[in-house]
A = this chain, B = another copy of it.
C-alpha cells in the first residue's frame, strides 16, 4: 500500500529534491543501470515506492529513441465490418499480447483501411511503434513489398510467396488444401465445392492446394463459391447456393467460421452432415470441436505462429537476420465429414 504524501511527485526531478540528490542519481536508482551506491539506490527506491512514483515511460522512451510498443495491424482491404471478430484472428491477438508482454513491449492495436499505397509507410513514419506485425496480407502485397525494402522490423502473418520480399510466418496453405482434398476423397466424396474468398491470398492457396490433390475428373467439377469470412455472410452464401439446387457431397470451407455457416445452412435444407454431405473447415478454432457435429478441420498452430511472429520481429529489431517460416498444417478428423 502506498501512502500518498502532500507533495505530488510527478517526475524524477521532484523525487530528487525530496531525496536531496541529483536527478541522474534518481534515474540510476530507478533504472538499476549505471554504478550506484547500494544504500543510496535502495533508499531512493523506497522513497519512490512510498510516494507511489513510477518513471514516465513515454519520456524514457523518447530519450532512448524508441517507443516500447509494437503495432499489430489488421488491414481490412477486402472485408469490412466484423473482420476482427473472426475467432482465429482473436486467438492470434491474444497470444501476440502474451508474447509481446513477455518481452516488455506494449501492443498497439490498429485496424487500418488501406487507402492508396502510403498507409503503411505513413503509419511507420509517425514513429508510434518500434515494429509492426500485420495480420493477413489482404490484397496489399505490393505495399508490403515496397515498405519491407526499406523498413526491417516488419513481419506478416500469412501465406508465403516466393516472389514476396517481406517476412512472413504462416501455415502451408497449399498443403492444408491438399489435406482436405485427400480426406474428402477417402470419404468417397467426388462432387465437391470450395467456399471462400479467393482474392485473399491465403484462401487462394488453400483452394489451389485443394484442386492440386484431386484427380482430374473431380477437379474439373469443383465449384468455387464466393463467401466472406463472417458467419452471416457464409451462411447466406451457402443458403443461396443450396437454394439454387446445388447438392455437392463434399465441401471444403476456407475457415471454420465459414464451415459453421455452411453446416447451419445445410441443416435448414435437411441435408444431413456428414451422411449426405461432408464438411471440412480450416483453422481449428476452439469452437470447432463444440460445433454440431464437431468439425473436421485443418489445424493451424496459432500459439506457435504468434511466438514466431514475435521472435522474428525481435530479431529484426536487434539487427539480426530472419527468414520467413512456413509450417505444416494438421488434419483433425471429427464428425462433420
Are A111 and B106 in contact, with the CB atoms below 8 A? no
In the bound assembly, the distance between CA atoms of A216 and B108 in angstroms comes to 51
Are B292 and A291 in contact, with the CB atoms below 8 A? yes
Q: A90-B87, A287-B231, A287-B260 are known contacts. Are A128 and B111 too (CB-CB below 8 A)?
A: no
Contact with B along A34-45 (1 / 0, CB 8 A): 000000000000
In the bound assembly, the distance between CA atoms of A67 and B106 in angstroms comes to 13
Q: Tell me which residues across on chain B come within 8 A of A85, comparing CB atoms.
A: 87, 90-91, 94, 286
Among A53, A56, A58, which residue has the most Cβ atoms of chain B within 10 A?
A58
A261 at the interface (CB under 8 A from B): yes
Q: A260-B287, A289-B264 are known contacts. Are A58 and B94 too (CB-CB below 8 A)?
A: no
- Each complex incorporates copies of this chain amounting to 2
Are B292 and A264 in contact, with the CB atoms below 8 A? yes
Contact with B along A160-182 (1 / 0, CB 8 A): 00000000000000000000000
A337 at the interface (CB under 8 A from B): no
Contact check: which of B53, B110, B231 meets A289 at CB < 8 Å? B231
Are B121 and A56 in contact, with the CB atoms below 8 A? no
A54 at the interface (CB under 8 A from B): yes
Contact with B along A289-308 (1 / 0, CB 8 A): 11111100000000000000
Q: Tell me which residues across on chain B come within 8 A of A126, comparing CB atoms.
A: 54-57
